[in-house]
A and B are shown apart, each in its own frame.
Chain A
């Protein structure tokens, strides 16, 4: 049912299949008259009979085809609907069958239920009759029990009444007997009591009289005894003093005992104090020891501290010294350099007395170096060099020697040559000074002097220069304050030598020229100074002169002149005339 409703819903307000089919059929039916009219119209136009037939045939054919198409399409479409209907009806029949089965089941259940119910009701009936019999029996039983109970109670009650009656009679008899006895006894007692009262009264009176008599007797006796005692107490004073003395003796004895105890205690105390004293002595000794140790350590510490401060100051001083040294050194170096430069200039300007180093000299020098400074070449290299010819041997040797000496460029070589030649000059001068007779044998160094010259060269050219930064740098590094706090610690002699070397940068031979130059310059200086003084003097004079001239012109031009009878101008004019 539901599916069909859905079907309907989806279909909208009209049955879609019906709609489509009706529309199609309508169109198909409409086709016929339209086409027939078309056919008729063509006929009216007078087309031949055959053609008409043909066209009609064609019309019919297409009509039939369209109809077929239509019916096939419809069938295809309605197949769905039919299938749905079939399914729906099948479902409904199934549902109905299921319902029927269920109803049957329910009915059978109802029937069996009814049967059961009847059975149960029948059972109830039997049970009821049984119960009725039982109730009757029970009723009878109860009735009889009640009767029995009643008769029994009645009989008992009667018996009880009779017993009670008997008991009451008995009691009455007993009561009367007892009361009579009781009265008799009471009467007897009363009489006895009155008798005893009278007896007692008489006795008390008797006793009172006796008491009075006795008290009188007692008082008399007391007075007698009192008098007796006062008489006995007179002789007891002596006895009392004796007792007092005894008591004093005892007290004294006690005190002695106490004293002895005290002395013993004091002695003990004394011994204890001795002990304490000795222990204290030991303690004091230990303390002193400790104190001494303590002082010792403190002193050590102080010393260490002082040492440290000392080191510190040393370091600071060293640093300051280094700085100072460095500063001074630099200053001195600068000065020395400047001096050397000037010296060189002087030398060069002086006339180039040494002259340029000729290539031949250089070559000879190199040969000399090669021969004499072979120790600078590594031994292994020498071994390797042996097979080579002489020229290449010497070339490689020179190369290694130069690298050892820190010579890099040609300039350096020339400088070396120059130095050597200078050195020779010095040597020769010295030699001249010592032995003027000998004179120079060769224009080059003597082979023995080569080492010394080299040493001097290396010593001189170890400062940093733009041309040889490497190996002199190495040497410089060795001397630099950075690596060595060592240098300032060098012996004073060494420092002095250092400073001397610096001071003697200019050789002695040159110094004479220096001094001469100095003298000359001094003289020149004094001359210049004089000239300057003179020029200042002349300038001052000129100024004065000018001022005077100004004054004069003023004097001439003033009005006073004209007023004067004889103007000074005239006078002036006249004077020269």
Chain B
């Protein structure tokens, strides 16, 4: 109760009353404290915290005081004040926890600051609307966060619109009705006809991030709800070009993932062309796109002219010719260790080619050919490869139609192999006996490789 401050004490009022029975009445005041006046240091520290935005006094303080200040700084301070000044994980942890519900710091190298900047930048890019949002909002952040951003995981990219657009709200205007036709035509003529459908230009960003190692992109809109339109998910040729140039300019990138973005042959070729001879790229993931044989051919070329170790092309439309190109790259000694071609349509042509290539290849460790319409000829070719190859440790042939003959061939091949520790032939009609014996051999191999380590 603040009655004490509002009214004079009753006892003081009662001056003319009976002095023998005078009683002091102390009103309920939660702030009433018998403690001493706070020390000057504390007051100073409070003041420092209060005025931190104007004047940053941190480094000069004693360590204990510094911790105290850091523990009490507001998380809403502007980033240009805090970014370069504060390294204290506790502060950044508070920033993160306040802003996001889920914070798994182990995914960010156990650095709360990295986590904050990476996610902050991701949010900015994901909500960037071309031609509407000023690029300064992102560019201003770059010098502050360039040392802290190792990875960018961008789950959506918004297309440009006339009116401000919010995900989940109704689409207005006819800005998107222009590009009903062929994507190439639209993007080629976009300069003179109507608004372009190009997304955020990574050329602005990537070459400035000096620590960026991993990049994941989706050219599409998340949570579009019932406002779905095909052209929300358009990856224009110009997007592709700018992205490719940006990737080329980013000399630290190790991992690139581009999912669900309708990357077809033309775009894939463009990307591959620009990624040739990239100094650091180790992993390329183009899963869930529309890459066909021509794109696969370009990727095959990229395999020979880069240091790619991991290549994932699952869920694309690569057929026999594309597989031939990749197999060619394998046979020419590309340094690839992990190849994932799940859910394509290599067919027996591709399977045979890969089998032939594996005979001579000495780098590939893991190969995934699940759901690829492989038949018995592929199985026999791969069985032969298993006999000769001793680097492959894992091969996945599930969900194919190898048939009983193929199963027997594989059984035979495996029986003469010592390196393969996993051979997955589930749902490939090989027969239970063959499957059992194959897995038995794989387990033996696994035990054998393990035992010398253990002893």
- A42 CB to nearest B CB, Å: 15
Which of A8, A35, A86 is in CB contact (< 8 Å) with B399?
Answer: A86
Output the nearest chain A residue to B422 by Cβ-Cβ distance: A71
Most B CB contacts (10 A, CB to CB) among A5, A71, A89, A96 go to A89
Residues 39-86 (chain A) with a chain B CB within 8 angstroms: 59-60, 63-64, 67, 71, 75, 78-79, 82-83, 85-86
User: A63–B427 contact, CB under 8 A?
Assistant: no
- Pair A89/B399 contact, Cβ less than 8 Å: yes
Q: Is the CB of A82 within 8 A of B288?
A: no
B216-231 to A contact mask, C-beta < 8 Å, 1/0: 1000000000000000
Contact with A along B300-344 (1 / 0, CB 8 A): 000000000000000100000000000000000000000000110
Contact A88 B398 (CB under 8 A): no
User: Quick one: given A8-B287, A36-B454, A64-B447, are A86 and B343 in contact (CB under 8 Å)?
Assistant: no
Please give, as numbers and ranges, the residues of chain B lying within 8 Å of A79 by CB-CB distance.
Answer: 426
The verdict on A13 contacting chain B, using a C-beta distance below 8 Å, is yes
**Which A residues lie within 8 Å of B315 (CB)?**
1, 4-5, 8
The smallest C-beta distance from B455 to any residue of chain A, in angstroms, reads 8
Answer yes or no: A92 CB below 8 A from chain B CBs: yes
The one of B372, B427, B450 that contacts A32, using a Cβ cutoff of 8 Å: B450
Interface residues in B420-440 by Cβ distance below 8 A to A read 424, 426-427
CA distance A85 to B259 in the complex (A): 18
B153 adjacent to A82 (CB under 8 Å): no
Q: Chain B contacts of A328 at CB under 8 A?
A: none
Knowing A63-B450, A82-B399, the reply to whether A89 touches B372 (Cβ < 8 A) is yes
Alpha-carbon distance A4/B342, docked complex (angstroms): 11
Query: Are A60 and B454 closer than 8 Å at their CB atoms?
Result: yes
Residues of B within 8 A of A83 (CB): 399, 427
Q: Is the CB of B454 within 8 A of A4?
A: no
Is there an interface contact between A88 and B371, defined as CB atoms closer than 8 Å? yes
In the complex the two chains form, is B343's CB within 8 Å of A88's CB?
Answer: yes
Does A93 have its Cβ within 8 Å of any Cβ on chain B? yes
User: Closest approach, in angstroms, between the C-beta of A87 and any C-beta of chain B?
Assistant: 8
Measured between alpha carbons, how far is A133 from B258 in the docked complex, in Å? 72
Q: Is the CB of A85 within 8 A of B424?
A: no
- In the assembled complex, the CB of A22 is this many whole angstroms from the nearest CB of chain B, namely 11
Instruction: Bits for A1-42, please: 1 = Cβ < 8 Å to B, else 0.
Output: 100110010000100000000000000000010011000000
* A1 / chain B contacts, CB cutoff of 8 Å: 315
- Given A8-B259, A8-B315, A82-B427: A89 and B373 interface contact (C-beta under 8 Å): yes
Q: Which residue of A lies closest to B312 (CB)?
A: A15
Check B288 against A4 for contact (C-beta < 8 Å): yes
Could you tell me if A63 and B454 are in contact, using CB atoms closer than 8 angstroms?
A: yes
- Chain B neighbourhood of A86, CB < 8 A: 371, 398-399, 427
| Among B155, B426, B451, residue most surrounded by chain A Cβ atoms (within 10 Å) | B426
Tell me the B104-161 residues at the A interface (CB within 8 Å). Answer: 153, 155
- Interface set, chain B 367-404, CB cutoff 8 A to A: 370-373, 398-399
Q: Contact at B373–A82, with CB atoms within 8 Å?
A: no
Residue of A nearest to B155 (CB): A13
Give complex CA distance A4, B216 in Å.
19
Taking the nearest CB of chain A, how far is it from the CB of B100, in angstroms?
Answer: 15
Contact call A85/B371, Cβ cutoff below 8 A: yes
Interface size class of B (residues with CB under 8 A): 20 to 34
* CB of A49 to closest CB in B, whole Å: 15
Residue in B424, B427, B451 with the greatest tally of chain A CB atoms within 10 Å: B427
Q: Within the complex, which residue of A13, A32, A82 is in contact with B426, where a contact is CB–CB below 8 Å?
A: A82
Query: How many residues does chain A have at the interface if contact means C-beta atoms less than 8 Å apart?
Result: 26
Given contacts A4-B288, A8-B288, contact A85 B454 (CB under 8 A): no
A96 CB → nearest B CB, Å: 8
* Identity of the chain A residue whose Cβ is nearest the Cβ of B372 in the assembled complex: A89
Q: Are A85 and B343 in contact (CB under 8 A)?
A: yes
User: B216 and A13: CB pair below 8 A?
Assistant: yes
- B446 lies within 8 A of chain A by Cβ: yes
Judged by a CB distance under 8 angstroms, whether B269 is at the interface is no
**CB closest residue in chain A, given B426:** A82
C-alpha gap A1/B371 in the complex (Å): 12
Residues of B within 8 A of A67 (CB): 446, 450
Is B345 an interface residue, CB under 8 A from the partner? yes
Interface hub of B155, B342, B371 (most chain A Cβ within 10 A)? B371
CB-CB under 8 A from B259, the residues of chain A are 8
Q: Are B260 and A82 closer than 8 Å at their CB atoms?
A: no
From residue 474 to 510 of chain A, which have CB atoms closer than 8 A to chain B? none
Would A8 and B260 count as touching, CB distance under 8 A? yes
Residue of B nearest to A9 (CB): B260
Which A residue sits closest to B443, measured CB to CB?
A71
Q: How close is A92's CB to chain B, nearest CB, in angstroms?
A: 7
Nearest to A8 among chain B residues (CB) is B288
For the complex, give the distance between the alpha carbons of A59 and B370 in Å. 35
What residues of A have a CB within 8 angstroms of the CB of B371 in the complex?
A: 85-86, 88-89
Chain B positions 273-293 with a Cβ under 8 Å from a chain A Cβ: 287-288
B453 at the interface (CB under 8 A from A): yes
Find out whether the CB atom of B373 lies under 8 angstroms from the CB atom of A93: yes
Q: Are A85 and B446 within 8 A (Cβ)? A: no
Contact residues, B228-246 vs A (CB, 8 A): none
Q: In the complex, A92→B424 CA distance in Å?
A: 21
Residues of A within 8 A of B260 (CB): 5, 8
Contact assessment for B343 and A82 in the assembled complex, using a CB-CB cutoff below 8 Å: no
B399 engages A85 (CB within 8 Å): yes
Cβ B398 vs Cβ A82 within 8 A: yes
C-alpha gap A79/B398 in the complex (Å): 10
Closest chain A CB from B222 CB (angstroms): 9
Tell me, rounded to whole Å, the shortest Cβ–Cβ distance linking A86 to chain B.
Answer: 4
Contacts of A85 in B (CB 8 A): 342-343, 370-371, 398-399
* From B155, B257, B373, residue with most partner A Cβ within 10 Å: B373
Measured in the bound complex, the distance between the Cα atoms of B216 and A549 in whole Å is: 149
| Bound form: Cα–Cα A88–B400 in Å | 11
Least CB distance from B403 to A in Å reads: 15
On chain B, the residues within 8 Å of A63 by CB distance are 450, 454
Q: Which residues of A contact B450 (CB under 8 A)?
A: 32, 63, 67
Bound together, the chains give a CA A32 to CA B257 distance in angstroms of 33
Minimal beta-carbon separation of B33 from chain A (angstroms): 52
Contact A4–B343 (Cβ < 8 Å): yes
Partner of A89, one of B343, B424, B443, B454: B343
Which chain B residues (338-360) contact chain A, with CB distance < 8 Å? Answer: 342-343, 345
Distance of A163 Cα from B208 Cα, bound (Å): 117
How far apart sit A75 and B373, CA to CA, in the bound complex (Å)? 21
Docked complex Cα distance between A85 and B345 (Å): 12
Q: Which residues on A sit within 8 Å (CB–CB) of B424?
A: 78, 82
A508 to B454, CA, bound (A): 158
Residue from the set A4, A64, A79, A85 with the largest chain B CB neighbour count within 10 Å = A85
Complex CA gap A71/B423 in Å reads 12
Q: Which residues of A contact B372 (CB under 8 A)?
A: 89
Q: How far is the CA of A63 from the CA of B257 in the complex (A)?
A: 35
CB distance from A74 to the nearest CB of B (A): 9
B343 contacts across to A, CB distance below 8 A: 4, 85, 88-89
CA distance A63 to B451 in the complex (A): 10
- How far does the Cβ of A359 sit from chain B's closest Cβ, in whole Å? 92
Q: Which residue of A lies closest to B153 (CB)?
A: A13
Question: Across the two chains, which residue of chain B brings its CB closest to A28?
Answer: B450
Q: Name the residue of chain A whose CB is nearest to the CB of B315.
A: A4
Chain B min CB distance to A175 (Å): 94
Contacts of B454 in A (CB 8 A): 32, 35-36, 59-60, 63
Q: List 29 A-B contacts (CB under 8 A).
A: A4-B343, A5-B288, A5-B315, A32-B450, A32-B453, A35-B454, A59-B454, A60-B454, A63-B450, A75-B426, A79-B426, A82-B426, A82-B427, A85-B342, A85-B343, A85-B370, A85-B371, A85-B398, A86-B371, A86-B427, A88-B343, A88-B371, A89-B343, A89-B371, A89-B372, A92-B345, A93-B345, A93-B373, A96-B345
The 10 closest A-B pairs by CB, nearest first: A86-B399, A89-B371, A85-B371, A82-B398, A85-B399, A86-B427, A82-B426, A4-B315, A85-B370, A32-B453
Beyond A8-B315, A83-B399, A88-B371, list 7 extra A-B contacts (CB 8 Å). Answer: A1-B315, A8-B259, A13-B153, A13-B257, A32-B453, A67-B446, A85-B370
